[in-house]
Amino acid sequence: MPDESIPEPEPAVDAEIVEPKPESTVPVEPVDTGYTPGGVPTFESVREKIETRYGASIGAAELDAETPEGRSVAEQYDERQRAAAERLDQIREQMRKQSGESQ
């Protein structure tokens, strides 16, 4: 291969030098990682994860119900519930007739 030389980068021309602030004026707040120093999850972090997952599942269910497929499934479920209620009424009526005949 031919000797390819990489050009040197040009130095920054309009750079501004910023002095760091003294440590005494910058308050340092502890970072909440969601874990104790022993590596155990905190109650807050666990609750936040549960609430996030619950919210996501509720949202997904609402979105699914708004699709044509979701409405179709809901309609099928409602139809089965109506059919089951009708059948149960028929069975109860038959049992009333049978108990009335035996007396």
Q: Has residue 3 got a pLDDT over 70?
A: no
Residues 6+ apart with CB under 8 A from 71: 65
**Average pLDDT over every residue of 1-14:** 68
Residue 35: phi, psi to the nearest 5? Answer: -130, 150
Instruction: Give the amino acid at 28.
Output: V
pLDDT tens string 52-98 = 999 999 999 888 888 888 788 888 999 999 999 999 999 999 999 98
CB 42 within 8 A of CB 34: yes
Predicted TM-score (pTM) of the model is: 0.43
How high is the pLDDT of residue 13?
67
Domain ranges of the chain: 41-102
40: left (phi over 0), alpha (psi -120 to 50) or beta: beta
pLDDT tens string 12-29 = 667 677 787 766 666 667
DSSP string of 21-72, one letter each residue: PPGGGS--PPP--SB-TTSPBPHHHHHHHHHHHHHHHHHHHHHHHHSHHHHH
Q: Has residue 6 got a pLDDT over 90?
A: no
How high is the pLDDT of residue 102?
66
Length of the chain: 103
